[in-house]
Structure 1
Amino acid sequence: MRFLIIIPAHNEETNLSFTLDSLLQQSQKDFKVVVVNDGSTDKTSEVIRRYTASDARFETITLQKSEHQPGSKVVHAFKSGLQTQAIDNFDIICKFDADIILPENYLQAVENAFINNPEYGLVGGLLYVEKEGNWVYEGNSNKHHVRGPMKAYRKECFLQMGGLRETLGWDNIDAILLKNKGWKEIVLPQLHVKLMKIKGADYTIKPADYYGRYFYFLGLNRLMAYIASSKEAMKSKSLSFFFDIISSYEHCKSRKLELKITKEEQKVINDQRWKMLKKKWLKI
């Protein structure tokens, strides 16, 4: 199977070489990498040039500087890189971040999983971060969800679900939509991916505003959004946090901000959220 790997990169001169070196060291060699230089103002372009000049599997495109928005910006960069390639020439479509280190068997293990399990649509490993000199499980998500920095999609699955959406919450929307199409999302826990930068470190958006916007762009109806907000407020043990999230959600709703999912997809997302709620909290 042949891999197409798209890597959005914004001011990643410190980390990018580690990511690209880890790709060079892969036991599976049949891949094409497109690094999307997304408005970098540091020496990211020089780092990219070292690889494109010496290995034909590496290509790059440069985008103009754009406003940093959680979710939409990175998917826009990904799509820009994707448009430079003929998808029919590939079997697996990957969206990787520019600040991860992959184990040498990462691509091979992903390929084996797809070959041996035709129902697998999305495969990835687990994220680890460095703490006090040790690499430990990041723990920001459950171990059955493939995180945004290391997504690998079977091409047929990717196309059936309509690709990635330029919106906050894209890396949860994809999992819901592919499942609705009959595909499975699988985490291979033996694949430890090192994350060199904490996600969200570049975001200036306040947590409550983030959650409110996230629930809105995820397409949650008012009931599901309020339930989700209450769960986040309970974690923070703050009633005011609940009202701040709701205020952000209602602000988006009153402005009728554009959603990147259809009415049918919104229904799928809300139905699945309700099923999860009944299973986990109501034991139905």
Structure 2
Amino acid sequence: MKESMNPTAYLLLTAARNEEAHIEGTIQAVIAQTQKPVRWMIVSDGSVDRTDEIVSRYAALHPFIELMRASADPTRNFGSKARAINAAYERVRRLDVSFVGVLDADVTFDPSYYAAVLQRMLDAPRLGLAGGMLFDWSDGQFIQQVTDPDWSVSGPIQLFRKDCFEAIGGYLPVRGGVDAVAEVMTRMKGWKVQAFPELHVMHHRQTGTEQRGLLSVFFQRGIEDYQLGYQALFFAGHALRRIREPPWLLGSLLMATGYAWAFLRRTPRKVPSDFIRYLHTEQWTRIRARFYGRQGETL
């Protein structure tokens, strides 16, 4: 692929549905960036509140913002997010940029955030997917998400090298876990994934709670992990780590229940067999590294 004339040029893609409560804060955070995107495509995914009005008002003042409307999906799920993101990317893929960011409509961050992530990616040429550390709003405070920065970047703030985003074919429109699928596919294509804990991003709701209650979210996470091909032992460690985030032990138990429910029902997998084989190999490698005490390996 032809390199961009500007090695730090990037575009942003946002899928927003009924985000009137949060999207203005996100827009203001992007406008305040010391390094702004070349284009920011905001897809109103069937919004029926003031989302379109808010975005249109800012787009009239800031030419790099563009509103794109999509028809509503009957159910809100991450598959609809993937379709919205991919449609937006098709509109702007010919722009001369080096990076493609997926940004949720309910986050805020410091003015230097994108400049800092971009610089770290420039310093690491094999880094295909990067971002900061997400802090979810829960019980009246921001709580750091439980994740492994050496393996995962939270879905609301994933920033891809454009070559990497093209190589994985954008977001795979599965129900649940499109961000996790993108991480695995990034590594399958030979790129690295890295989050930077020193770069904080405030997420103004707990991930997945847009349309469901918190308890339902954790049950669904277990189902989604099964559908994405998580190996059972790895999943057990993965669920146990969730004890450190609300609703604490109950969340871990609900994840395990969801995984077991999907297993017993033989719920169809949502990803190709080569994806699952790669994921199992990777997860077994991490399990062995964990038991042999290598640093930086967590489930």
User: What range is the shorter-chain TM-score in?
Assistant: 0.7 to 0.9
List aligned pairs for 1:94-113, cutoff 5 A: 94-113=101-120
Gaps of 5+ in 1: none
Residue 174, structure 1, aligned to residue 182, structure 2: yes
1:142 paired residue number:
148
**Secondary structure of 2:153 counterpart:** coil
Structure 1 residues 211-270: Cα deviation after superposition (integer angstroms, max 9, x where no partner): 4431233134xxx236625863796489897465322234253xx46x2x3322221111
Residue 11, structure 1, aligned to residue 18, structure 2: yes
Once superposed, what is the RMSD of the aligned Cα atoms? 2.8
Residue 86, structure 1, aligned to residue 93, structure 2: yes
Could you tell me whether the CA contact under 8 Å between 1:226 and 1:246 is conserved in 2?
no
In 2: Cα distance, 1:247 partner to 1:147 partner: 25
1:158 paired residue number:
165
Deviates more, 1:239-248 or 1:102-111: 239-248
Q: CA 1:226–1:203 in structure 2 vs 1: closer, same or farther (change >3 Å)?
A: farther
Deviation at 1:282, TM superposition (A): 6.3
Could you tell me whether the CA contact under 8 Å between 2:44 and 2:69 is conserved in 1?
yes
Could you tell me whether the CA contact under 8 Å between 1:208 and 1:245 is conserved in 2?
no
Deviation at 1:283, TM superposition (A): 5.5
2:126 to 111, 119, 123: 119
Could you tell me whether the CA contact under 8 Å between 1:209 and 1:248 is conserved in 2?
no
Q: CA 1:273–1:123 in structure 2 vs 1: closer, same or farther (change >3 Å)?
A: same
Deviation at 1:89, TM superposition (A): 2.2
Q: CA 1:267–1:108 in structure 2 vs 1: closer, same or farther (change >3 Å)?
A: same
Structure 1 residues 102-127: Cα deviation after superposition (integer angstroms, max 9, x where no partner): 21011211221122221111110111
> What TM-score do you get using the length of structure 1 for normalisation?
0.85
Could you tell me whether the CA contact under 8 Å between 2:208 and 2:217 is conserved in 1?
no
1:60 paired residue number:
67
In 1: Cα distance, 2:38 partner to 2:212 partner: 32
**Secondary structure of 2:35 counterpart:** coil
In 1: Cα distance, 2:123 partner to 2:254 partner: 49
Query: What is the letter of the counterpart of residue 262 of structure 2?
Result: S
Q: CA 1:172–1:281 in structure 2 vs 1: closer, same or farther (change >3 Å)?
A: farther
Deviates more, 1:21-30 or 1:179-188: 179-188
Gaps of 5+ in 2: 1-7, 244-248, 295-299
Identity, in percent, stands at 22
2:216 to 206, 220, 230: 206
Deviates more, 1:115-124 or 1:19-28: 115-124
Residue 267, structure 1, aligned to residue 281, structure 2: no
**Secondary structure of 2:276 counterpart:** helix
Could you tell me whether the CA contact under 8 Å between 1:129 and 1:196 is conserved in 2?
yes
Deviation at 1:189, TM superposition (A): 2.2
In 1: Cα distance, 2:114 partner to 2:218 partner: 37
In 2: Cα distance, 1:160 partner to 1:272 partner: 20
In 2: Cα distance, 1:85 partner to 1:239 partner: 43
In 1: Cα distance, 2:237 partner to 2:203 partner: 30
In 2: Cα distance, 1:30 partner to 1:228 partner: 37
In 2: Cα distance, 1:48 partner to 1:79 partner: 19
1:128 paired residue number:
135
Deviation at 1:71, TM superposition (A): 2.3
Query: What is the letter of the counterpart of residue 15 of structure 2?
Result: P
Deviates more, 1:105-114 or 1:79-88: 79-88
Structure 1 residues 85-112: Cα deviation after superposition (integer angstroms, max 9, x where no partner): 1245221111000011121011211221
In 2: Cα distance, 1:29 partner to 1:232 partner: 37
Deviation at 1:140, TM superposition (A): 2.9
In 2: Cα distance, 1:274 partner to 1:39 partner: 41
Query: What is the letter of the counterpart of residue 189 of structure 1?
Result: P
Structure 1 residues 21-65: Cα deviation after superposition (integer angstroms, max 9, x where no partner): 111111013421000101111111100111221221011111112
Could you tell me whether the CA contact under 8 Å between 1:169 and 1:217 is conserved in 2?
no
2:201 paired residue number:
193
Deviates more, 1:209-218 or 1:59-68: 209-218
Q: CA 1:250–1:44 in structure 2 vs 1: closer, same or farther (change >3 Å)?
A: same
